[in-house]
Amino acid sequence: MSSLSQRFIQDRFSDYYKQNSALILPPTSIEKREFGFLIFEKRMMLRHRGFREVDGLRSSLSTIVPSDVYYSSAYYESPEEEMKAKGWLGADLIFDIDADHISTPCATLHDLWVCNSCGASGKGGHSQKCPACGGGKFKEKTWPCEVCLEAAKAEAIKLIDVLTDDFGFSTEMLTVAFSGHRGYHVHVESEKIHGLDSIARKEIVDYVMGIGLEAEFHGVGKSVSPERMFSGPDLNARGWRGRVARGTYDFLLTASTEELEKAGLRKGIAKKLVLNREALLESWKENGPWGGFKGLGLETWKKIAQYGVEKQSVKIDTVVTPDINRLIRLSNTLHGKTGLKKLEFSITDLEDFDPLRSAVAFKEGEVTVNVSEAPQFRVEDRIYGPFERQRVELPTAAALMLLCKGVAKVVQ
């Protein structure tokens, strides 16, 4: 990246931390948290920082001007010591939802790879070797696209449902935040979960994702009633039983003949099911469709229910939650890949939350940039691009999105 572009990004980040230091709020028990700053110049992490109060943190941000700011999910006796000597006291329970872990149809349209050795680039996933130079190392550039962000939000909604309904966490214990890039973070802060070790947290991951869950142990099986061959869980049942039912309902509501065939239905039966979809879903008001459809055996119902499990499974980053020493982005700090803020908001606003409006940190100024390649994107109300080898004048926030991604350069 040209030093002019680098300078521009750092100057804007510097403005932000000088003008908005009051927005930087201390996490609970700030004196027990470790802080980490990713440094622009060297792409190096300054770790093991600690602060007694928020003022020290605020002034560090405006002098260091990091590209990314993190704090520990854990509480330590001595957060500034090296890992072994910190004295772990407990940790919040954290969940990271990132569009990278959700398969969206648009990834091939907006994701780019760039060859580390020759700079060749292309869309979607890259092959093993660079087609231009044969090199094997690539930078991947993902994009905070609207479709991906909506997909991540849908996962956050599912997650909060599981955490409140199945685990019984009150909404006061939960915070939800936009990550500043392609996802959402959900935190649980409560004495009840502080002491959980990594294995216990992994169990929670498995539950939330429905890993190893088999529908036949959740009510899908032979019926005891003489009128029906099979039975299955009720839509309103608690826990995963209800989720299996609701996921199956959703699957049957939208599945195409091809998808049903993939689930193991013979073509004729799949077609018949699609034709009779409404009646089948209607039957759910009584006692569900289980066994209420000629030609579908128990094994097929189990497979269909497994698709239901898949629909209800929450796609979280499986590495983050079990890590009891994780550093996580601090709210109201800037994301080095976008220039957007990580932003906490009320759970009741989740459905309507618009990250590309609410998380915009820069509202003033314009700058002319040379864009190499960028997909279409939105910032606030305006749509930009797609761009290919173009010089454009853009508002600061839109320009930063491209500059931080390394697909544009500031024009002298």
User: In angstroms, what is the minimal distance from the CB of 242 to Zn ion?
Assistant: 30
Of these, 1, 4, 85, 133, which contacts Zn ion (CB under 5 A)? 133
Is the Cβ of residue 117 or residue 254 nearer to Zn ion in the bound state? 117
Give the whole-angstrom CA distance, residue 86 versus residue 205. 26
Q: Which range, of 129-137, 246-254, 271-279, 403-411, touches Zn ion by CB under 5 A?
A: 129-137
Q: 322: burial class by Cβ within 10 Å (0-12, 13-18, 19+)?
A: middle
**Dist CA 45 CA 67 (whole Å):** 10
Residue 281 as a binder of Zn ion (CB under 5 A): the answer is no
Residue 44 lies near Zn ion (rule: CB under 5 A): no
- CB 378, min distance to Zn ion, A: 12
CB of 123 to Zn ion, least distance (A): 12
Specify the pairing of strand 35-39 against strand 68-72: antiparallel
Closest CB to Zn ion among residues 130, 392: 130
Q: Which residue has the tokens 């079990």?
A: 322
DSSP H or E stretch at residue 19: helix 3-19
Q: Which is nearer to Zn ion, 89 or 147 (CB)?
A: 147
If one asks whether residue 56 binds Zn ion (CB under 5 A), the answer comes out as no
Binder of Zn ion out of 23, 45, 89, 120 (CB under 5 A) = 120
Q: Can you tell me which of 45, 89, 102, 106 binds Zn ion, judged by CB under 5 A? A: 106
Kindly determine how many residues on this chain lie close enough to bind Zn ion according to the rule CB under 5 A: 13
Task: Name which of 221 and 385 has its Cβ closer to Zn ion.
Answer: 385
- Give yes or no for residue 356 binding Zn ion (CB under 5 A): no
User: Which residue from 132, 200, 253, 275 is in contact with Zn ion, where contact means CB under 5 A?
Assistant: 132
Give the angle subtended at the CA of 407 by the CAs of 402 and 411, to the nearest 5°: 80
374 in contact with Zn ion (CB under 5 A): no
135 part of the interface to Zn ion, by CB under 5 A: yes
Among the listed residues 113, 132, 131, the one whose alpha carbon sits nearest the alpha carbon of residue 123: 113
The residue (of 89 and 120) whose beta carbon lies closer to Zn ion is 120
Residue 98 near residue 317, CB atoms below 8 Å:
yes
For residue 143 the two structure tokens come to 């994009």
Query: Exposed, middle or buried, 259 (CB in 10 Å: 0-12/13-18/19+)?
Result: middle
147 interacts with Zn ion by CB under 5 A: yes
* Closest separation in Å from C-beta 375 to Zn ion: 9
Candidate residues 94, 112, 145, 156; the one interacting with Zn ion per rule CB under 5 A: 145
- The contacts of residue 28 (CB under 8 Å, 6+ apart) are 189
Other Cβ atoms less than 10 A from the Cβ of 82: the count is 9
**Does residue 203 contact residue 193 with C-beta atoms inside 8 Å?**
no
Distance CA 292, CA 284 (A): 10
The owner of tokens 């002491």 is 195
Question: Does residue 220 touch Zn ion according to CB under 5 A?
Answer: no
| Residue 154 binds Zn ion (CB under 5 A) | no
| End-to-end C-alpha distance for the chain, whole angstroms | 14
Which three-class secondary structure state does DSSP give residue 10?
helix
Candidates 148-156, 199-207, 253-261, 336-344; binding stretch for Zn ion (CB under 5 A): 148-156
Token pair of 115, please?
């060859």
The residue range among 117-125, 202-210, 248-256, 309-317 that interacts with Zn ion, by the rule CB under 5 A, is 117-125
For the residues of 70-128, what is the DSSP string, one character each?
Answer: EEESEEESSTTS-GGGS-EEEE-EEEEEEGGGS--TTHHHH-EEEETTT--EEESS--S
Q: Single out the residue of 69, 148, 296, 328 in contact with Zn ion (rule: CB under 5 A).
A: 148
The 76-105 contact track toward Zn ion, x by CB under 5 A, reads ----------------------------x-
Tell me which stretch binds Zn ion (CB under 5 A): 3-11, 82-90, 132-140, 153-161. 132-140
149 binding Zn ion? (CB under 5 A): no
25 contacts Zn ion (rule: CB under 5 A): no
Interface with Zn ion (CB under 5 A): 104, 106, 115, 117-118, 120, 130, 132-133, 135, 145, 147-148
